[in-house]
Copies of this chain bind each other. A is one copy, B any other.
Amino acid sequence: MVNQKMKQLGQNRSVIRDIFEYGRRRKEQIGEENVFDFSLGNPSVPAPEILTQTLERLIKDTPPQLLHAYTSAAGDDGVRRAVAEYLNNTYDAGVSPDYIYMTCGAAASLTISLTALTEPGDEAAVFAPFFPEYRVFAEQAGAKLKVIPSRKGDFQADADEIEKGITPATKCLIINSPNNPTGAVLTDESIQTIAHILTAKQQQYGHPIYLISDEPYRELVYGTEAPYLTKYYDNTIVCYSFSKSLSLPGERIGYVLVSPKAQSCSDIFDAVCGAGRALGFVCAPALFQYAVKECLGQTADLSVYDANRTLLYGALTDYGFECVKPDGAFYLFMKSPEPDAVRFCQRAKKYELLLVPADSFGCEGYVRISYCVQTDRIKAALPQFKRLAEDYGLKQPD
């Protein structure tokens, strides 16, 4: 009667959403302050004051029939020019406003890019662990998601695995740095490895392989930087979102950018426009297009995430947990003390700690802890983590 796949996607919420909903019910039972919810990647710091001021000014000063009008499908020309200029000034990115397409956020950027690129039978490769919605987006575009493990321990590029994973059917490779769920930031060396292998494979197979760089966490880095991909590999498509950098995830604003150096970049951009049209996007929300234009390079106060990261990583390793020290994003990736991370998360619930098993991220034996919460909440949760560690008989490392 209805599309069965869509029905299943609607009924089977993601694991993350399920845990979040459990948390909501649990808070009603025992009080908000007694549940420690580390499930969602929802920015906890407010949007910067400049964003609020910009919104106020735009609404006050712009005639509504201009402010709220349709923009071109690809976005307002002035906004696209400003984004290109910002990226070229900041990263020497070498991008052009002609190949920037404003979108309703990162998810839209990805569905549009994948729909634009792939034909049935194509493979979209991704490094594990990965954001589980990639599978949904790739399959909706008619592609098959091909999972390539990243290097054990530090989640950098693993040359052997990439060599094995890229096949004649590979249309694109999605990378996500800083990474959800590990917080790892791909190093210069990793990106050179990826670019080198893709270049060779393109030659071997006689067709382009596109690198899709999903970058909602680009600005959330601690003592390091995320290299800009267009400088390493020509066939690059960047999917960006302002959700995390400006703390406005509900407003849905981002962009797709095709490198001007990409093979047939004009065709790719046409296909991006076609995909946006076919999927029903029309244009990105107009007010927020104009707002982000005025806030390029600005961010919410991200220092809170860094403080949370240091506090949580320090304490958990102290209690004997094995964690990957994150260089970016707002996730801590922690090894489960027992092989089954789902069981571990169940046990953590006894201590009112809500963690996400990484199984659905394509990585067993780990959990994701979202530390985009008030620092006080982390402080309050530490005794519970300590008890959980003791429950498993963990010992402080020497």
Contact = CB atoms under 8 A, between A and B. Distances in A.
A285 B70 CA distance: 15
A68 B251 CA distance: 6
Contacts of A277: 9-10, 133, 136
Nearest to A41: B70
Contacts of A207: 1
Contacts of A348: none
Q: Is the interface of A mostly helix, strand, loop or mixed?
A: helix
Contacts of A9: 273-275, 277-278
Contact of A116 (B2, B68, B282): B2
Nearest to A8: B274
Q: Size class of A's contact patch?
A: 35 or more
A109 B281 CA distance: 10
A68 B272 contact: no
A3 B275 contact: yes
Interface stretch (A27-35, A47-55, A332-340, A353-361): A47-55
Contacts of A65: 43-47, 247
A63 interface: yes
Interface stretch (A263-271, A315-323, A363-371, A385-393): A263-271
B208 A270 contact: no
Interface string A78-113: 000000000000000000000000001101111110
Interface string A366-387: 0000000000000000000000
A117 interface: yes
A137 interface: yes
A168 to B, nearest CB: 14
A60 interface: yes
Contacts of A249: 68-70
A164 interface: no
Given A7-B271, A140-B279, 4 more contacts: A7-B267, A46-B65, A55-B59, A104-B104
Interface of A: 1-11, 42-47, 51-52, 55-56, 59-60, 63-65, 67-71, 104-105, 107-112, 115-119, 133, 136-137, 139-140, 207-208, 247-252, 263-264, 267-275, 277-288
24 contacts: A1-B264, A1-B267, A1-B268, A6-B270, A6-B272, A6-B274, A8-B274, A10-B116, A10-B270, A10-B275, A43-B65, A55-B55, A55-B59, A64-B248, A69-B249, A70-B249, A104-B104, A107-B281, A109-B280, A111-B279, A133-B277, A250-B283, A250-B286, A285-B288
